Amino acid sequence: MTHFRKIALLTLAAPLALGLAGCGKSPTADGQVAEGKTIAPISAPAGKKWTDIVNVSDLDGYVLGNPDAPVKLVEYASLTCPHCAEFSSEAATALRDKYVASGVVSYEIRNQIHDPFDLVMARLVRCGPKESFQPLAEQIWGDLRPLIERAQSDTAGLQSAMKLPPNQRFVAFGDKAGLVDFFAARGLSREKANACLADGASLEAIADRSQKQSDELKVEGTPTFFINGANIGTQTWATLEPMLQRAGAR
């Protein structure tokens, strides 16, 4: 059974436990970050800033910054995860303005999908321009508690939404959860949001890709970080920043 199918069946079987159920800090991995010499800043293309450059990776992650950066930071994150929200609050500004801006570090976010709420948000952050992915993710994490409380206030409505035909269920879920309104207030029209949520193939691809990567890369909780391919497990900004510096970023 695919991960996408399991998400739908789980929703029908039990009340939603959004936010905390799928989010947990896995033990810090044993992967070591290779020590490197300090790397000098790398100039962005003429007329551009690295913090404005976004690419989508082969693994469907959204990469902010120099695509050829010598220090590559990857975060597997759940949009419903409070620990991910904490990291975003602590780290987003410094990561962007100090490390990504230098051209030395690229920062890629890949979604790990835990439940329908997670899946709907992961689809909606992809629904607009690729440059909006990380800013929207930061706004979700900044408002995570009220978003989850709003969704949990109508779990019966969400359960009913998931019983609809496949091309309707996530449209209805996004509406019942207040997510379509949340994104509309940030420039994504309801029409476009509903079209994205009616695209079952894209939703299935996001969910199943998430599970495949988690299995292959041993991502056991969120957030899980990789630096230059080494799995360093769950970190806070206080523990992660020295690892970036050990790899050569300053």
Q: Are strands 71-77 and 105-111 parallel, antiparallel or unpaired?
A: parallel
* pLDDT of residue 14 exceeding 50: no
To the question of pTM greater than 0.85 for the whole model, the response is yes
Mean pLDDT of 121-150: 97
Q: What confidence category does residue 15 fall into, taking pLDDT thresholds of 50, 70 and 90?
A: very low
Burial track 170-202 (b if 16+ CB lie within 10 A, e otherwise): bbbbbbbbbbbebbeeeebeeebbbebbbbeee
Assign 27 a pLDDT band (cuts: 50, 70, 90). very low
Peptide bond into 223 cis (omega under 30): yes
What three-state secondary structure class fits 139? Answer: helix
Angstrom distance (rounded) from CA 39 to CA 247: 9
**Residue percentage of the chain with pLDDT more than 70:** 90
- In which band, very low, low, confident or very high, does the pLDDT at 5 lie, cut at 50, 70 and 90? confident
- pLDDT tens column, 190-219: 999 999 999 999 999 999 999 999 999 999
Is residue 20 over pLDDT 60? Answer: no
Q: What is the DSSP letter of 41?
A: P
* pLDDT in the model for residue 195: 98
Q: What is the average pLDDT score of the chain?
A: 92
Identify the band that residue 21 occupies on the pLDDT scale cut at 50, 70 and 90.
very low
Neighbouring C-beta atoms of residue 218, cutoff 10 Å: 12
CA distance 76 to 29: 14
pLDDT confidence band for 187 (50 / 70 / 90): very high
Residue 18 clears pLDDT 80, i.e. is over it: no
- What CATH number was assigned to the domain covering residues 3-45+53-246? 3.40.30.10
